[in-house]
Amino acid sequence: AAAGSERPGSTALALLGPAPGAPCCPHGPALLFVKTSQGTEEGRRFYACSACRDRKDCNFFQWEDEKVSEARLAAREEYNRSHQPCFTHRQNVDRYKNFVLLPLSKRRFCQECQQLLLPAEWKKHSDHQFLCDITTAQLKSPSQLLYPLENKKTNAQYLFTDRSCQFLLNLLTDLGFRRVLSVGTPRLHEMIQSKASQEEEFNVRSLLLDIDFRYSQFYTEDEFCHYNMFNHHFFGGEAARETCRKFLCEETGERVIMVTDPPFGGLVEALASSFKKLMTMWNETEKEGHDNREMPMFWIFPYFFESRILDFFPSFSMMDYQVDYDNHALYKHGKTGRRQSPVRIFTNLTPSMIVLPEEEGYRFCTVCQRYVSSGNQHCEICNSCTSKDGRRWKHCVLCKKCVKPSWFHCNNCKCCTLEKHSCEKSDSGCFVCGKAGHKRSACPSLSRS
C-alpha cells in the first residue's frame, strides 16, 4: 500500500486483505484497506481495486461502512460489464481455429486493438495499423506479437530473455517437474507449449494464469485462465477454477511446480495471500493430502523484497541467479555494479538442488551448500555468502554483519549507510504506531492477512 511520508499529521494506507462479500470492479473483488494516521492504531476502512494502485487506471473506491444505493449498484454492474473483453474465451478459441485455416495472405493482426482479425472484420479496422502474413511461428509466440503492458504496479510485462527462460525450463526439467503452473510468466508458458508441439519426447505441460486476457486468443481453456494474482480471482468462474485444480493433480507421479513473476510494484501481502490459496488448492488435490507440505514454488522478484517474502514464507530462500528481461532498460544480463539485474529466484526447494550455470560465473559454496555468484565471497565471521546484489560485500564489526561495499559506518546513526547521507533522525518513530525501533512496513500492529 502507499506508504505516505513519515511526518507528524500525515496519513498512510495499510492493506487488510480480501474480505467476504467485497464489492467488485472490472478486476474482480476489491481489497480492504485502512487509512491510518501517525500514532493511531486504525482509521477508516475502505475498498479499492486489487490490481491498480493508481486511481487513473481504476478509480473504484468505497468506504466499508458506506450504504450504496440500488441505482449506484446497478450503474456499477453495468460499468463492470462494459469493461469486459468483447469476446469470451470460448469465442476466441473458435476464432483462432478459423484464423489458422486462412492462407498466409489473409492472416492479419490489428496492432491498435491487439486482436487477430478474420477477413469479415477488416473493414471495421481499416483505419488501424495491422501486421500482415502472420506465421504459425508468430502464433506460437504471442508474447512477441502483443505489445507488452508496462504499468509497473498492475500488469508490468517485463518478459524473460531467452537466456533466463531457457535456464528456468532446463532447471525445471532437471528437477523432475512435468507440470508448470505459470502465474504471470507468459514467455515461459509459450516456450513449454512450443517445445511440446515440436518435440515428441518433451513431456512437460504448462497452464498460464494471467490477468492479460489477450492471451485467450492463442490458448484453449485448458492452457490459459484469466486470473488476477492480487485477489485470487478467476474471471472464468468455477469452470476456470476447476481447470486449475485439475491441473494441480499429480497423476502418475507427475510433479507440479508454480513459477510466478509478479509486477514488482505489486503488494507483497496481496500476492502472498493468493499464492497461499493456490498452495491450498494443490494440497486439496489428493485424498491423502501432502502431509502439510508446501507446493514447490519459484517466486521471481527483486532481492530487496527478501525480508517481506520471508515474512509470509519462512521456508523460502533466495538464489543468486540474476533473472533478466528483454524489454527492461536496466535488468539485462552482463551489466556490472548497481546496474546488474536485482531480480532473483525465491524458492522453498532445497538450495543445493538449484544448480546455477558455472559458465556464467556461478560456483558452489560447500559451506553454504548452494550455488552463489562469483562476487559473493563467503564471510568467515557471518559464516555465510552474504552478498545480495552480485558485488563483494564487506563485514562491519560494529554492525556485526556484512554490508554493501559503498556503505560506511556512521557513528551518529550507529549503522552502516551511504557516505553522503543525512544524519537527522525523526523523533516520531514508526509512522503507524508511533513507537521507535521499526518502520511502517514492519509494524506489528498491521494485519498480515
Query: pLDDT by residue (tens digit) across 283-315?
Result: 888 655 666 689 999 999 999 999 999 999 999
Sheet containing strand 343-347, edge to edge, reads: 233-234, 224-228, 205-210, 177-183, 255-260, 297-302, 343-347, 317-318
Burial call 353-386: b when 16+ CB within 10 Å, e when fewer: ebebeeeeebeebeebebbbbebbbebeeeebbb
3-state secondary structure of 382: coil
Position 54 scores a pLDDT of 79
3-class SS shares of the chain: helix, strand, coil, % to 5 = 30, 20, 50
- The closest of 215, 232, 237 to 224, measured between CA atoms, is 215
Position 447 scores a pLDDT of 44
Give the β-pairing of 108-110 and 115-117: antiparallel
Q: What span, in angstroms and rounded, lies between the C-alpha atoms of 116 and 217?
A: 7
Could you say which residues of the chain have pLDDT below 70? 1-11, 37-42, 150-157, 286-292, 327-339, 424-449
Structure confidence by residue, pLDDT tens digits, 160-172: 888 999 999 999 9
Q: E strands within 236-366? A: 255-260, 297-302, 317-318, 343-347, 363-365
Q: Kindly calculate the radius of gyration of the chain based on its CA atoms and give it in whole angstroms.
A: 24
Q: Which helix (H) or strand (E) holds 245?
A: helix 237-248
Position 152 scores a pLDDT of 44
Structure confidence by residue, pLDDT tens digits, 59-82: 899 999 999 999 999 999 999 999
Which residue spans of the chain are classified as CATH 3.40.50.150? 151-350
Which amino acid belongs to residue 424?
Answer: E
Instruction: Quote the cell numbers at residue 384.
Output: 555465510
Provide the 8-state DSSP code for 160: B
Which amino acid belongs to residue 94?
Answer: D
pTM for the predicted model, two decimal places: 0.86
Q: How many residues does this entry show for the chain?
A: 449
Question: Does residue 31 come out as left (phi exceeding 0), alpha (psi in the -120 to 50 range) or beta?
Answer: beta
- Beta-carbon contacts of residue 270 (< 8 Å; ≥ 6 apart): 15, 17, 31, 50, 230, 231
The angle that helices 268-283 and 237-248 make with each other, rounded to 10 degrees, is 70
CATH number of 151-350: 3.40.50.150
Position 44 scores a pLDDT of 84
Contact 312, 268 (CB under 8 A): yes
Taking CA atoms, 440 is separated from 84, 121, 190, 267, 347, in Å, by 37, 53, 40, 14, 26
